[in-house]
Amino acid sequence: VGVTVSESSAALTPASDAIIEAGALGLLPEALRLGRRARRIVFASLGISLLYNVGGLSFAIAGKLTPLVAAILMPLSSVTVVAFVSLGVWLAARPLRSPDRN
């Protein structure tokens, strides 16, 4: 991950993944923690999706899943993963929004 330290937030550095103002350099450890949390959320959502699809596939192979039910469950799986990711990101970023933060 490339991080650029800049005196101005208007500086454009397309070669870096993140831009931190020089005055906020102390927030770098928190940004790295947030990045690790985000990575865990991505892997967990991939796991949920994989389990959901393996379960659906096994029911379909066994002949216990009609096309109508599969058509209903398919978008429901997407909504489930999006809801999980949204909740995970909201919870991961909650310490950044705490009112007692200096």
pLDDT digits (tens, 9 = 90+) for 28-87: 888 888 889 999 999 999 999 999 999 999 999 999 999 999 999 989 999 999 999 999
Q: What whole-number distance in Å separates Cα of residue 53 and Cα of residue 75?
A: 12
Predicted pLDDT of residue 39: 93
Count of helix runs (H) and strand runs (E) in the chain: 2, 2
Predicted pLDDT of residue 49: 92
pTM of the model: 0.72
Residue 102 has pLDDT above 60, yes or no: no
